[in-house]
Structure formats: C-alpha cells, structure tokens
Chain A
C-alpha cells in the first residue's frame, strides 16, 4: 500500500435490505488514512531508560473534549488551540467546505455510539489504526465481513478489495464464503473505470439475490453455498 501510495481507504457500510441485523438504517462512509500512523512499522527494543529516538511514528491524536462539539460556523477563525495534528488538519480542510457539517469525536465514544446509535454517522475520517477498528465495527453492524466492499485510492492507482481484508483461511475450500463483498468491490472498480451500466447491472443482481434468504451463506445466517449464491446472482442478471 505504501509503495503504490494508496493513501485513502474508503468503505461504505450500508444496511442491506435482504440481510437481517440488529441495527437498521446504517449508512456510513468511512475514510481511513492508509499509509502512516500506527502502521509505520518502525519498532525497536531499547534498554530500561525511556528512548529519545523515535520509535513508532503515529499521527498525533490528543483526545478532544466532549463529543459532538458543534461544527465550526462559517466566518469563525481557525481554532488552533493545540489540537492534535490530525484534528488540526481536518479542521483546516473543513473550513474550506462550509456547506458540510464537521464534527469530531473521541474514538472510544465513537465505538460506543456506533453500537447504540450508528444512524447518527454519515462520513467518518480517521487515522490508520482507528480506521481499522471502526471499519470492522461498522462491518459487524451491517452483517459481517462478507458484505462490505472497500476501495483504496492513491493519486495514480486504485485497488479494490473486501473492506475488512480477511483472508478467511478457516473457511477456505469449503464453498461457504460469501461472494457479495468481492462482487460489490468489483462493481466499485467498474464504476471507477466508468463502466457504469455494467456496474449497476451487477450490483442490482447481487442485492436482488440477497433478498432471497435461501441463498444466504452461513456468515449471514443461511445455509447456502458460494456457488449457489453465484448462480442466484447470474439468474438475476
């Protein structure tokens, strides 16, 4: 990811009509910084004294105060009061988009809000590790890793995959994996290539086939197989 400079990971978690979950009406777009933060892979072991040389570069995230602070109204000066660097940068950019409401929330409160009232969120942006955690929570809310597609964007390249990046080795070769996430990711790729009609056609077919619980794979509570699900999608095309 760093050599292709895929700096933005975007996942769209949406409650799907045919899949029953504890939460309804979830529609969150998650944007995660993909190349730095806690994933900078700079670690070392030192002696007992606290090190002075840098170890693991992490984008600074000082916890902001109470959650859901009101958005910066237009016309206000930037508030530099020593925010974390990440938050500071977000505020700067937000100031250029006055029609979009900007809020900030501490990640611990965010996870609590996500499990009680996820409908309050629209678009979320965050550094690498929090993105990893929150994307998994959101995927869990809408039905699991088998349903959510993800995209990685850089200036020159775009890579599409399942949102939660699981290898699924425990269910490999058993014909029970859910093809939805990969297929929806492929649709995102087709949209990116501007083959919109093909993308919508496949997406409609995938979502329509999910309406039938008989073709649901075990991860969403059914007893179908991968090939069964694919046949059903082909039938809907």
Chain B
C-alpha cells in the first residue's frame, strides 16, 4: 500500500512535468499506478479505467453530458461511462430500469447524473423516480458548494459557502392524501436518526474542509416538533465538535440575510425543502443554475450533478445551455476518484475560459453556444 502510494506520488510528479501529449503516451504503461487502493477491484477495467454510471436525464441533460464526454475525450480521462436512460416524462421509467441503475451503481459506486424531471400529472404514484432513486441509493446528503467564479462578476463577489441538505425525508416524503373533500394533508417526516446523520455529516464535512462555522436553518418556531427535533439533533452533534462554531437561523431570516449579506455564512445544514430553496437562491447569487455543481452522498455511493437541478426544457436543441456546472461537477467526480491530475486539468480549463471572458453562454451575458464553450474548454486543456 505504501509502495503504491509512493508510486502514485512519483507519477503525479511526472505528470505535472509532462505535457498533455506525453501523458497520452504514458497512460497504458502506468495502468497499475492508477489502480489506487480506494478503487474497488471490479471497477478497474483492463486498461485501468474507472466505470462511472451516467444518467443523462431530461431537458438539456443529454447535451451537457455530451459536453462532458467531449472534454473527457480531449483530456484522455480514464473513465468509461455506463449510460442509462431513466426518464419519467419520456416514458422511459419503470421499476426494472430503476433496478438496473442501482445494479450499475453497485458496481461503479460513482455516478454523473442530469435532472430526472418530475411530471405534473399525478399518475397514481406520489414519489417521483428521482426521489425513489435517491431513497434506494440512500443519498441522504446533498452538498452544494457555492463559490464565486473568478473573473465572472455578479452582484456578490468572492462568495464561498456550502449548503448541506438532508435529501431523503422531510417535506419530500411523498405521503399525501385527501382527508376531506377539498382538504389535502401532506406529511412532513422528520426523524431523529436521519437528522443526526445529516448533522454529523455537516460537521464532519466542515472539519475535513477546515470550515469554521455551521449554521442550522429551520422553522422551529412554527413547526415546533418537526423542525424542533431537527434543531435538537444538530445541537447534540455540535457538542461533539467544540472547534466548530454552531449557529441557528430561521429560514425566512436566512433568505433575507443571503440576499443582503451572504458573506456571514460558511456551512449551512437544513432539512429537504429549505435546502432546495436555499440551493437555488445561493446559485442565483453567483450566476445561476448553469455555474454551480453539486453532489449527493450516501455511505456507499457518490453522485455528481448540478447544484440547482432544473431540466431547462426550453433550451433543448437550441445549443444555449451552459456546460460549466456539469463540467465542474465532472471535475469534482474525478477528484473523488483520486484522478487529481485530470480533475485539476478540467476545472482549471473551465475557470480559465470563464476568467478570460471571451466565450460565455447567454446566461453569463455572452453570445456563445454550448458547443463554442465546450470547444473553448478543450482548447484551454492543451495550453
């Protein structure tokens, strides 16, 4: 194990000195060096590549995945995608498909997914396929790192906060019924176990990334038992981490503070619905859904996706979607797979293109198409 680690360090040193072209030649002989200790034996294909499950999803998902694949090809990333097309709106969803995806995940452990859209019609099933997938894989923690992109000015610059959202219970428990005519009841479930789990995840994350403060967001003044329990669990876990400052804030005040003074926040942890809203709000502060990557974790799996999840169906076929978020998310995925070199290569290229500012998609105020942006990123890889 130590020898392998040392070998990897040597390879890393070698790689930094070499150009991209030389790295292409190096890939095959150094296959053993890529099989890091953390990779499961099944995921290492003969050439030393990793398998990653890919779910393009709906809307602009397939276009963004195409951008990712192009960039990966240009950067010679040793990743093979196992694609599955799960889609409720395109009638490509069923229990078997869901099981296929879960089986694929069991092998790859890592996935890159687009938004699996939930249609408006109530067809007898309250839980969407998206929610069912997350519950099956037990992806309890959604992490969105909201960071201002260098060179892209928004109304709030130099923002750096992390939003951690409990993703499997809360308001999304899909338990609703009509108790009397014209009266619907919807159950918001908060459990001690899941609240403690997400709180512990938040504090562990803060410790690992060297963050100093965790703020729990709630509405316990109104939902005294539900959010009260969540808050209680956060407080209990906070006592185990004396080095990290713990604060609480009510959701309405939190939203106002995010709009007026977002710099006061560091790490935020909250139940499902508030997380959904705050993810989107914070994404809006740094440039919108097109620039913020996100990830979801369970004890065994890691899923990489967009921070603010929207299918953006109006953009399908018009080549205007911004690939930034998906590319940055793919780079995060590579870091998770310990492919540090490739991860930095891609994220540096994306950030360089944005910083230079000549090629920007419409949502960032530019005129470029998605393909233009992807080409620009590929060009930046060479440099």
B121 touches A112 (CB 8 A): no
A65 touches B155 (CB 8 A): no
A108 contact from B186, B276, B313, Cβ within 8 A: B276
B313 contact from A65, A109, A133, A144, Cβ within 8 A: A65
Task: Judge whether B251 is part of the interface by a CB distance below 8 angstroms.
Answer: yes
Task: Judge whether B366 is part of the interface by a CB distance below 8 angstroms.
Answer: no
Contacts known (A43-B224, A58-B185, A65-B117); A132 close to B252, Cβ less than 8 A:
yes
Tell me the residues in window 34-67 of chain A with beta carbons closer than 8 Å to chain B beta carbons: 38-39, 41, 43-45, 50-51, 54-67
Interface size in chain B (residues, C-beta < 8 A): 58
B219 touches A129 (CB 8 A): yes
Task: Judge whether B184 is part of the interface by a CB distance below 8 angstroms.
Answer: yes
Interface size in chain A (residues, C-beta < 8 A): 50
B183 contact from A57, A83, A112, Cβ within 8 A: A57
CB distance from B58 to the nearest CB of A (A): 10
CB distance from B313 to the nearest CB of A (A): 5
Contacts known (A43-B224, A81-B121); A108 close to B188, Cβ less than 8 A:
no
CB distance from B339 to the nearest CB of A (A): 31
Tell me the residues in window 79-138 of chain A with beta carbons closer than 8 Å to chain B beta carbons: 81-83, 85, 107-109, 111-116, 129, 132-133, 135-137
Q: Which stretch of B12-20, B104-112, B284-292, B346-354 is in the interface?
A: B284-292
Q: How many A-B residue pairs have CB under 8 A?
A: 140
B252 touches A112 (CB 8 A): no
Task: Judge whether B38 is part of the interface by a CB distance below 8 angstroms.
Answer: no
Contacts known (A60-B186, A109-B310, A140-B260); A82 close to B120, Cβ less than 8 A:
yes
CB distance from B366 to the nearest CB of A (A): 15
- CB nearest to A219 among chain B residues: B260
A116 touches B187 (CB 8 A): no
Tell me the residues in window 260-307 of chain B with beta carbons closer than 8 Å to chain A beta carbons: 260, 273, 276-281, 283-285, 288-289
Q: Which residues of A contact B253 (CB under 8 A)?
A: 136, 166
A140 contact from B177, B186, B259, B273, Cβ within 8 A: B259
B314 contact from A55, A59, A66, A129, Cβ within 8 A: A66
Task: Judge whether A141 is part of the interface by a CB distance below 8 angstroms.
Answer: yes
CB distance from A91 to the nearest CB of B (A): 12
Q: Which residues of B contact A166 (CB under 8 A)?
A: 253
Q: Which residues of B contact A113 (CB under 8 A)?
A: 284
Contacts known (A108-B276, A109-B310, A116-B288); A55 close to B188, Cβ less than 8 A:
yes
Task: Judge whether B175 is part of the interface by a CB distance below 8 angstroms.
Answer: yes
A133 touches B225 (CB 8 A): no
- CB nearest to B193 among chain A residues: A48
Contacts known (A62-B120, A82-B122, A140-B257); A22 close to B187, Cβ less than 8 A:
no
B284 contact from A85, A107, A111, A132, Cβ within 8 A: A111
A interface with B by C-beta (< 8 Å)? 22-23, 38-39, 41, 43-45, 50-51, 54-67, 81-83, 85, 107-109, 111-116, 129, 132-133, 135-137, 139-141, 144-145, 164, 166
Question: 6 A-B pairs, CB-CB below 8 angstroms?
Answer: A45-B225, A58-B186, A111-B277, A115-B259, A133-B255, A135-B252
Task: Taking A65-B313, A132-B252 as given, write out 18 further A-B residue pairs in contact, using a Cβ cutoff of 8 Å, ordered by the A residue number.
Answer: A41-B222, A43-B226, A50-B175, A55-B188, A56-B186, A60-B184, A62-B122, A65-B89, A65-B120, A66-B312, A66-B314, A81-B121, A82-B121, A82-B123, A112-B284, A116-B284, A129-B273, A166-B253
